Each structure stands twice: as structure tokens, then as C-alpha cells.
Amino acid sequence: MFFLGYLSALKAGALKDNVGLSPLAFEMRTVAHLMASGFDVEFHDLCEGRGFDFLAKSGDITFEVECKSVSGDLGHRVHTYRQYQLMPYVLDKMQSSEKSGIVRLLVATVPDRLYGQQEFMKAVAATIGKGLEKSADVSSDACTMGYYELPILGSPFDCESPPRIKEDDVVDYCNHVIGDEVGHTIMTFSPRQSATIIAVRSLKPNRPLNGVYRSLTEAARQLSGSRPGVICVQFKNMTSAELRDLAEHPAQSGQPTGIQLMTAKFYDDSTHGHVHTISYVAPGAFVRHQSITFDTQGAMRTTRFSEDASSYVFVNKRHHDVNDPRYAIFK
């Protein structure tokens, strides 16, 4: 009953904001991993109303766990959900101006952020509409817009059915066209006939790792400091395969990643000395395992499910338990 009450409390909170249930699912996966590794788990923040998420115990080993779930938009000036909020203002313009046999790409650059205020959204949409109408580059106080026309032949839209059209392929296509990153896109299309793509960027650079660093600092403050602490960070908009590629990059290139440098900076701060481990994870795919055993009663089929997910783990070399293998739970 206690566990169900905890779930209900978290679920109620998750449904009251824009974050959704992903952080809750991440916490439950973390708890399941700890229990499968032989740890008893206490739900500390529910009992105390503050502080870290879980207390994990096994024999004479006890450590605190704090979970953070961060968006791929963290530190970005144009958030994906803001771009989706723009869609109702431009959808009619996109659908009514399609050209047969043509892919129309519009890249709008805002001075700072894509703000959610209605007047700002309308101003950006008006600039995009003018660009569609004139089939040319245009600018306004709200944004500057680059206009591109390309043949649909050989594009990602040159296929028979929508299920074959993948957003990643469209983004790669747009990146190649402009010679830069366009970020997320919104689009309308008719396969092998026409397509209109809108991307929104900021004139100012993104600082995604700054946002992750702030999340780590907040997590460190929520740990008590009296026991070894573990911080688990989920990248919601990254696949497990992408995280594996990121972890393998230093060995291939000989150069540290931004995450490595940021984590090293975090551990260099003496106020973070109580943090033993930071584990970066990404959602994985669920895999079904089946096995058949035989006994005097006949055959018994067992089915279990597990998550094929990766973690990118950093241990604090300054922690006094750095070499204790019993803390290597997330490797």
C-alpha cells in the first residue's frame, strides 16, 4: 500500500505540469534496478517531504539516490513544445501554399527565444506567411527567415507512404541544405507531390550543458552529505544508442566529450565531495525473454521483460569509497 501511495502521489504531481510521466517512469526504473541488485529501498522524499529520492541499503552499504530527468531542450533557446505551439498559427498558411513537385524549407531565426506569448507567436507566423507568399527571404522585428526551394525528387518525401518518412531523415536533409543545424521541424506534405518544412532557430547559441550542470548542482544539494550519494540523470530526448555512441566517442577521437569535462568540473567543486557516482542514462527498448523448464508436472514457460538501456557512469575519484566495488551498481 505504501508503494502504491507513492505512485499515486507522483502521478498526481506529474499530471499537473508540462513534464508528464517520464520522470516518474525513470524513478520507478531506478528503484527496480536497485531492488534487482539486492538493495532494500526506502522512499525518503515521500516520508520526509524533502531531500533526496531514495535510500538504498544492502548489508553495511547505504547510499542516497537522487533522480533528475532532463529534456533535450534544456539549455536550448527554442524548445520543441514552443515550436509545436507555433503550429496552429502557421498550419493554414503551410497547407494553402504548397507547390507541386517542390519542397519548401523555411528557416526562421528569432533574436533570442521562441517565446510563448500570443502576440510574439503571431508575429513570427506572419513573417513565415509572408515568406511563403513571396517565395523569398523576409525579415521583421520578430525573426528573419531564409527561404529554400528544392525538387521533391530525391528528397525524404520522394516515397509512396508517410510511414516511410522519418523526422530524423528530414532534419538531416535540411541540415545538408543550409549547411548548419536546423533543430526540430514542423512539416506538412503529400508523398511524392509537395512538402513544406518550418524550422525555428535562435540567433544566440544554446548552452545545453549549463542546464545539466544546474540539475547536478540541485541534486547535490538535495543529498544529505552524510552518506555516499548517487545522482541518476535521464536524458529524455536521447536514445540509448545515441548515449552509447557518446560514451564511445572519447576512445575513438582521443578527445574528451562535453559531458566528461562538465562532470569533471562538477567533481572539482569541494562542495560536491559527498557525491560518489553520477549515472547518465537514456530510455531503452523493452525486451521480452522467454524460457522453458521441465519438471515432474511437465513444461513451464517463464516470460520476463527487461529494458535494453545504457548508462554513462562517472565515479568521483576524490570520494573515500571510490574503489569499493559494492557501489558499482549502475555500471
The three state secondary structure string of the chain is: CHHHHHHHHHHHHHCCCCCCCHHHHHHHHHHHHHHHCCCEEEEHHHHHCCCCCEEEEECCEEEEEEEEEECCCCCCCCCHHHHHHHHHHHHHHHHHCCCCCEEEEEEEEECCCCCCCHHHHHHHHHHHHHHHHHCCCEECCCCEEEEEEEECCCCCCCCCCHHHCCHHHHHHHHHHHHCCCCCCEEEEEECCCEEEEEEEEECCCCCHHHHHHHHHHHHHHHCCCCCCEEEEEEECCCCHHHHHHHHHHHHHHCCCCHHHHHHHHHHHCHHHCCEEEEEEECCCEEEEEEEEEEECCEEEEEEEEEEECCEEEEECCCCCCCCCHHHCCCC
Are both 97 and 188 inside the same structural domain? yes
The last residue of one of the domains, among 202, 235, 257, is 202
Range of the domain at 190: 80-202
Are both 102 and 181 inside the same structural domain? yes
The last residue of one of the domains, among 202, 230, 255, is 202
Are both 176 and 110 inside the same structural domain? yes
Q: What is the pLDDT of residues 125-135, one digit of tens each?
A: 999 999 999 99
Are both 67 and 100 inside the same structural domain? no
**What is residue 1's predicted lDDT score, i.e. its pLDDT?**
43
Q: What is the pLDDT of residues 295-305, one digit of tens each?
A: 666 667 766 65
**What is residue 134's predicted lDDT score, i.e. its pLDDT?**
95
Are both 123 and 163 inside the same structural domain? yes
**What is residue 310's predicted lDDT score, i.e. its pLDDT?**
76
Are both 69 and 86 inside the same structural domain? no
Are both 224 and 322 inside the same structural domain? yes
Are both 66 and 212 inside the same structural domain? yes
**What is residue 2's predicted lDDT score, i.e. its pLDDT?**
45
Are both 221 and 160 inside the same structural domain? no
List the chain pLDDT tens, one digit each, 331 residues: 444 444 455 545 444 545 567 788 889 889 988 998 999 999 887 766 678 999 999 999 999 999 999 876 666 788 888 888 999 999 999 999 889 999 999 999 999 999 999 999 999 999 999 999 999 999 999 999 999 999 999 999 998 877 778 888 898 999 999 998 888 899 999 999 999 999 999 998 877 788 889 999 999 999 999 999 999 999 876 777 767 776 776 666 677 888 888 999 999 999 999 999 999 988 766 556 566 777 666 667 766 655 566 788 999 999 999 999 999 888 7
Are both 63 and 140 inside the same structural domain? no
Are both 250 and 317 inside the same structural domain? yes
Number of domains, the chain: 2
The last residue of one of the domains, among 202, 221, 243, is 202
Are both 226 and 126 inside the same structural domain? no
